[in-house]
Amino acid sequence: MQVEKHKNLSDYNTFHIEAIAENFCSIENKNELLEVLSNKPSPIKFLGGGSNVLITQNVGGLIIQNKIKGITIIEENKDFVHVCFGSGEIWHECVEWAVNHGYGGIENLSLIPGTIGAAPMQNIGAYGVELKDVFVSLQAIHLHTLEENTFSNEACEFGYRESVFKHELKDQYFILSVTLALRKSPLIQIDYGSIRDELLKAECNDPTIKDVSKAVIRIRQSKLPDPHEIGNAGSFFKNPVVSISHWKKLLESNPNIPFYEVAEGYKIPAAWLIEHCGPDEVRSWKGYRIQDYGVHQKQALVLVNYNKANGQDILALSEQIIQSVEHKFGIRLHREVNIW
Ligand code: FAD
Ligand code: NAP
């Protein structure tokens, strides 16, 4: 394992922001991690696929890129297999592995970029399924004591794009492996977003998990910018949830506002809010572009780097959007992407 100095990070984050890491190394197993941590580098940051970070400055200390691999079935009964994934495995390759083995539960999460180890950080979710629905436990190393701990589903305190690792335990643990319970007789979940329509279009009336995965892939490819072509980190903001009274007031002035009832009130798609306000009275943020960066033309939740934008500019644009949405709708958006 080699520590590189002054590493350009542009190939290691999907926004393709050019920033320099003072020190950078990749680890392939727990022993390499322990060796690096025993030198007490400070500060330390971890990178999986870099698909959920916006780098706004050069990074001092050490960045550790995770390449810990391995897929092992550790338990099996008549309904479930429990599979332990090394945290550096690529998420979508694990979905493909599960789908090809006929194990259900994560097919709706097809084509999410990044690694298995980052998935618990924000309880990744799409098309009505969240990691927490299949999550059993994870193993993690404490960065200072170097102790290995097991976190159950409950201990991770999963919420909507949230976990304990983004709050009380922020920057305290490295996630080594994640164990998921996958179904041997999969349940097909197609009542969210446009999956059902996409399957109908393909004349698929009795879908398998492979069909669902393919449908999700097709929808995502048609709507989302490919980070290899246009730098982005997926949805920049989380969808806000408002109280019933706030929702009633919003409906009075915006009768077409979309909403979904959830336990805490009403979820409003942030993309709609961003699309329906803008930098001035006339324009919408959707498709807005300043020099090398802007808001994607097809998906207003996605901020993009067209070429050589820097992270500070994109962060400033996100602040303008937050203020604009708050001014018009009285709703404060929160960023989903981790700001470095
Ligand atoms: P990184 O960006 O490398 O890291 C994210 C955070 O986790 C960082 O703070 C990092 O330090 C920390 N971290 C990473 N690995 C570890 C580890 N092993 N231990 C401790 N900390 C760690 N997200 C969704 O939830 N749903 C979606 O549908 C979705 N779609 C997306 C589509 C596109 C086109 C893009 C670009 C992103 C999308 N995302 C989505 C966001 C992103 O892909 C996920 O959050 C993903 O889990 C990030 O994985 P990563 O390995 O790239 O994490
Ligand atoms: P979409 O299907 O156009 O739907 C728009 C929004 O409405 C979504 O954000 C979704 O919320 C919500 N929604 C749709 N159907 C719903 C239902 N039946 N019940 C409750 N809420 C519903 O969304 P999209 O932009 O194409 O994304 C599709 C899925 O992929 C979504 O789940 C989205 O979260 C996920 N995705 C996530 C990222 C990311 O970076 N986090 C990037 C791309 C796509 P939710 O977002 O809460 O599901």
Question: According to the 3-state scheme, what is the secondary structure of 201-234?
Answer: HCCCCCCCHHHHHHHHHHHHHHHCCCCCCCEEEE
Per-residue pLDDT reduced to its tens digit, 5-16: 999 999 999 999
**CA–CA separation, 68 and 53 (whole Å):** 20
Is the distance from the beta carbon of residue 46 to the nearest atom of ligand 1 less than 6 Å?
Answer: yes
Residues ≥6 apart with Cβ < 8 Å to 67:
26, 27, 28, 88
| Mean pLDDT value of segment 173-193 | 95
User: Which string of b and e fits 259-281 if b means at least 16 CB within 10 Å?
Assistant: beeeeebbbbbbbbbbbbbbeee
Is the distance from the beta carbon of residue 124 to the nearest atom of ligand 1 less than 6 Å?
Answer: yes
Residue 282's pLDDT is: 78
Cβ pair 24, 13 in contact under 8 A:
no
Beta strand pairing status for 44-47 and 20-27? unpaired
Inform me whether the pLDDT recorded for 133 exceeds 80. yes
Q: Report helix, strand and coil shares of the chain as percent, to nearest 5.
A: 25, 30, 45
**CA–CA separation, 120 and 11 (whole Å):** 23
Inform me whether the pLDDT recorded for 281 exceeds 90. no
Q: What is the largest CA-CA distance in the chain?
A: 61
Residue 39's pLDDT is: 86
Inform me whether the pLDDT recorded for 327 exceeds 80. yes
From 52, 124, 226, mutation site for ligand 1 pocket: most ligand atoms within 8 A of C-beta: 52
Closest CA to ligand 1's atom 46: 114
Say how many Å lie between the CA of residue 278 and the centre of ligand 1. 28
CA distances from 137 to 143, 222, 280 (A): 19, 34, 48
Say how many Å lie between the CA of residue 274 and the centre of ligand 2. 15
Catalytic residues, by residue number, are 161, 235, 336
User: Is the pTM value of this prediction over 0.85?
Assistant: yes
Residues flanking ligand 2, CB < 6 Å: 125-127, 192-194, 223-224, 234-235, 239, 260, 267, 269, 299, 336
**3 state DSSP class of 265:** strand
Per-residue pLDDT reduced to its tens digit, 79-129: 999 999 999 999 999 999 999 999 999 999 999 999 999 999 999 999 999
Say how many Å lie between the CA of residue 249 and the centre of ligand 1. 35
Token pair listed for 106: 């994560």
Say how many Å lie between the CA of residue 166 and the centre of ligand 1. 12
Per-residue DSSP letter, 110: T
* Residue % of the chain over a pLDDT of 70: 100
Residue 1's pLDDT is: 81
Least-confidence region, from 30-44, 157-171, 207-221: 30-44
